[in-house]
Structure 1
Amino acid sequence: MENKKENEKKYNVYVCTLGCPKNSNDSEMAAGILEKSGHRMVNNPVDSDVIIVNTCGFINDAKKESIDKILEMAEIKEEEDKDRLLIVSGCLSKRYGDELFKELPEVDIFLGVNEYHNLPQILAQHQKEREIYVYDCNREFVEMNNRKLSENPYTATIKIAEGCDNVCAYCIIPHIRGHYRSRREEDILQEAELLAEHGCKELILIAQDVTAYGVDLYGELRLAKLVKKLCRIDGLQWIRLMYCYEDKITDELIQVMTEEKKVCHYLDIPIQHSSDKILQLMNRRSTHESIINTINKLRKAMPDITIRTTLITGFPGETSAEFDELYDFVEDMKFERLGVFAYSKEEGTPAAEMKEQVRSDVKEKRKDSIMRLQMEISLGSNQKKIGQILQVLVEEQDEEGAYIGRTQYDAPEIDNSVLFQSNKELEPGDLVMVQINDAFDYDLVGVEV
């Protein structure tokens, strides 16, 4: 009887999420599943019986941040006279589960990246002795219902696939999240309709490779068709595409982006480099020429499009000549949004075994050089918007009464903001028209009209 009561115990659960929007989406799913099974989510680890740290393990900086957060939560776990559980999940746990189990005795349970649907069962079966659960990636997309949404989910991600088959030489993600697995179209549409009913106005499509959607499930690239159907859902105002691979941006997709008013003229295309030599070493399918052709095609179809990209400096074999080529490429293409990572040597990847590794100081110097160039490009791009009237999604109000929001040309948390004045009382999620009257490196200033 005692065991039965213990198995039926309901916990106060705190979830700490690190890393990318895909992790945030996973945490929302986990929270919803736990609530459905009778557990209660809390906003402070001190108030919890169970602490879950959803980790990132993509590059060295992310791994360090995850370890630091686990240790921080471990200290809270030991506070007071309370028998808390500490669970570590996500990419770091999946990648280093066995090692972490040995090095972090403070942690009770380790989960991978596809096991959140098992959480209620794991909590119910947990015994006093320490256990470890690190599962293999599933062969199909695991549908997790009952997602926990914020009180005002005016912007929300929707995961359309899991895993990756691109096997880039520097990337460990396929080993962590498994092969590419598309989600069924009807399930995506059903969740999107639910999000719209709850007040979602901006729907952000995410996956390791959004543009590969459907190829495994339907035998063809189906992103364009999916987006067109999402545009029919009442309530949605903006549909944003993240993590798009250049080699899979089809003419059909460009046509849908051009014709459908709800689709943001914004595309996140992580190209990583422009040198054919480095792209080949990276095992990328794009070439210098194909990247330029695709960017030009997008800009011709949508002159106002904002393109975000990411680059890697200091990849093994990158000489000063390849870096100069990359620098000139950035200067010529003038990407509206751009981020740069210094190459991170990840064990278990082909790139980690390559000769001609670039010194850390050189990698960082090259990164900083491109970021200084990008500041100038970003300022020039922003200054072109002075005098324009743009639709802005309100996100918050600062202490001085000004509002902060974003245009369709900016993704949440990573891109520019618009600081503007209004005589109205506005709420997060409101869409208003703002005249831009000033511009800075990464932000715009205006007034509602």
Structure 2
Amino acid sequence: MKFYLISLGCPKNLTNSEEFSARLLAKGHKMVFTPEQADEIIINTCGFIASAVKEAKDEIRFALDLKKKGAVKKVAVTGCLVERFKEQVAREFPEVDTVFSISAQDAVENTLKKRGVILDPLPSSLYLPEYKMSLTAPHTAYLKVADGCNNRCAYCTIPFIRGAYRSKPMKDVVREAKLMIENGVQEISLIAQDTTSYGMDLYGKPQLLELLEKLLKLKGLGRLRIMYGYPHRVTKEIARLMASTDKIFHYLDIPLQHIADPVLTRMNRHCDAAQIRRTLDMLKTEVPDISLRTNFIVGFPGETKKDFNELKKFVKEYEFDNMGVFEYFREKGTAAYAMEQVPARVKHERAAELVETQSRVIDRINKRLTGTVLEAIADGEDFGRTYKDAPDIDGKVTFTRPVKTGSIFKARVVSAEGYERELEPLNDK
């Protein structure tokens, strides 16, 4: 079988795509890179928010149109849209040949031979995947250390899509990282819905620090990157470990969502503004060159003008290197669905205003960056990222001369405007 993969959503979903694609390749099937070459299109969907649901359904319609024209024989749909809406997906798209759950991806070859809806329960544990390939560049890869979530934020659908928090055993994480290194991966990004809760379910307490210490002992390790830490679980010990080694990029993706206490309470976030500020101040003290990325939700139910102004002031004060701004999406099944909603017009205006606020922050950061030396990683001969930029999420930079793809080196910032930055490589040999 020749299959064409459409993988949507976050890096955590991408790792599922990598695993079941590798299983198919190991069984002699072939991945193709244009849908017209394929016998079957497999769509690994996201279903987190309304815009992701729309994107997934648009891709399903695209694939079914090709099937109707005879360009492909079969269409299969899996992923978070299926976990969230289950049989409803098949009812809305009866022409889809196979609708299958995330768990059914483990036996993907046999699953795709069947027709209809295949809904296996989510696994109770995570283990080292039998097969793994990279759908990103060969020198960078995501390593999923856990799946699911227990935080129960009032706006979030993840707990009933991905289930309860489940950590991968530490020995399996280390083994997976070792295999990545042996295959030439230079940058390993540790991901989970909440990376800083790693090990809570298996070992009775968070074990991210202990996991990092084990990973740092691996021969040939390039760099680690920590994604999706929660502010009340980022410890001083983790910060000090980051500061003590160049093997962990001084970068942390730490989703904050808001800073006003009334909003944080309604969101059911497990920390208040004071805790957030203490954590950020601690990080900036312990790791002076740390690069922080965050996300904020504007227009959450009950958000007042005062709350929003507090958020704007906070963004100006803490100067995040990268920041995502999202308008609140009302999602059925979440606690926030029944709350009093902020008008759509107000959400649009606040999102635009916060983006503009961050643009001015970036202008100030750029003035300080020009002329400084940063660690960079080459995604191609003439482009890549600095340590401040996660793959597929943050910005890219260009280089003044060609470098070896996958290399990690020091480079001087020659110019910086907005998120467009040019660097001069210094020691890329």
**Alignment TM-score, normalising by the size of structure 2:** 0.96
Distance in 2 separating the partners of 1:72 and 1:193: 39
Which of 86, 93, 97 in structure 2 is aligned with 1:97?
Answer: 86
Does residue 158 in structure 1 map to residue 143 in structure 2? yes
Distance in 1 separating the partners of 2:201 and 2:136: 35
Does residue 58 in structure 1 map to residue 12 in structure 2? no
Which of 251, 263, 268 in structure 1 is aligned with 2:248?
Answer: 263
Deviates further, 140-149 or 62-71:
140-149
Distance in 2 separating the partners of 1:273 and 1:227: 28
Which of 87, 102, 111 in structure 1 is aligned with 2:100?
Answer: 111
1:120-153 deviations in whole A, cap 9, x for unaligned? 22134x2xxx411122222222542211235952
Deviates further, 146-155 or 241-250:
146-155
- The 5-angstrom pairing of residues 187-336 of structure 1 reads 187-336=172-321
Distance in 2 separating the partners of 1:434 and 1:139: 45
Aligned residue in 1 for 2:387 = 408
Distance in 2 separating the partners of 1:278 and 1:433: 41
Deviates further, 93-102 or 425-434:
425-434
Q: Tell whether the 8 Å contact from 2:137 to 2:379 is kept in structure 1 after alignment.
A: no
Does residue 147 in structure 1 map to residue 132 in structure 2? yes
**Partner SS, residue 148 of structure 1:** coil
Does residue 437 in structure 1 map to residue 417 in structure 2? no
1:318-342 deviations in whole A, cap 9, x for unaligned? 1111111111111222222111100
Q: Tell whether the 8 Å contact from 2:77 to 2:100 is kept in structure 1 after alignment.
A: yes
Aligned residue in 2 for 1:6 = none
Distance in 2 separating the partners of 1:315 and 1:433: 41
Does residue 28 in structure 1 map to residue 18 in structure 2? yes
Aligned residue in 1 for 2:8 = 18
1:29-48 deviations in whole A, cap 9, x for unaligned? 01111122232222222121
Q: Tell whether the 8 Å contact from 1:113 to 1:137 is kept in structure 2 after alignment.
A: yes
- The 5-angstrom pairing of residues 354-365 of structure 1 reads 354=339, 356-365=340-349
1:16-67 deviations in whole A, cap 9, x for unaligned? 1011111111101011111222322222221212211011111111111111
Aligned residue in 2 for 1:134 = 119
1:323-362 deviations in whole A, cap 9, x for unaligned? 11111111222222111100000011110011x2001111
Specify the code of the residue in structure 1 equivalent to 2:59: K
Aligned residue in 2 for 1:400 = none
Does residue 395 in structure 1 map to residue 382 in structure 2? no
Specify the code of the residue in structure 1 equivalent to 2:341: Q
Distance in 1 separating the partners of 2:404 and 2:70: 39
Which of 354, 359, 368 in structure 2 is aligned with 1:370?
Answer: 354
**Partner SS, residue 355 of structure 2:** helix
**Alignment TM-score, normalising by the size of structure 1:** 0.92
Specify the code of the residue in structure 1 equivalent to 2:400: Q
Specify the code of the residue in structure 1 equivalent to 2:422: V
Specify the code of the residue in structure 2 equivalent to 1:118: A
Shift of residue 384 of structure 1?
1.1
Structure 2 unaligned runs (5+)? none
Distance in 1 separating the partners of 2:409 and 2:122: 43
Specify the code of the residue in structure 2 equivalent to 1:197: E
Structure 1 unaligned runs (5+)? 1-10, 398-402
Distance in 2 separating the partners of 1:81 and 1:168: 43
Stretches of 4+ aligned residues off by more than 4 angstroms? none
Q: Tell whether the 8 Å contact from 1:238 to 1:408 is kept in structure 2 after alignment.
A: no
Distance in 2 separating the partners of 1:44 and 1:35: 17
Aligned residue in 1 for 2:75 = 86
Shift of residue 235 of structure 1?
2.5
Aligned residue in 2 for 1:71 = 61
Aligned residue in 1 for 2:331 = 346
Which of 381, 397, 408 in structure 2 is aligned with 1:418?
Answer: 397
1:376-409 deviations in whole A, cap 9, x for unaligned? 1112112212111222211124xxxxx1111111
Q: Tell whether the 8 Å contact from 2:90 to 2:116 is kept in structure 1 after alignment.
A: no
Distance in 1 separating the partners of 2:75 and 2:206: 41
Identity score, percent: 38
Distance in 1 separating the partners of 2:242 and 2:42: 39
Aligned length: 426
Specify the code of the residue in structure 2 equivalent to 1:364: H
Q: Tell whether the 8 Å contact from 1:390 to 1:436 is kept in structure 2 after alignment.
A: yes
Specify the code of the residue in structure 2 equivalent to 1:254: A
Distance in 2 separating the partners of 1:329 and 1:31: 43
Shift of residue 433 of structure 1?
2.7
Distance in 2 separating the partners of 1:149 and 1:316: 39
Distance in 2 separating the partners of 1:150 and 1:350: 35
Distance in 1 separating the partners of 2:170 and 2:69: 46
- 1:288–1:151 distance in 2 versus 1, CA, 3 Å: closer
Shift of residue 261 of structure 1?
1.8
Distance in 2 separating the partners of 1:184 and 1:360: 44
1:267-303 deviations in whole A, cap 9, x for unaligned? 0010100011111100000100000000000000111
Deviates further, 50-59 or 39-48:
39-48
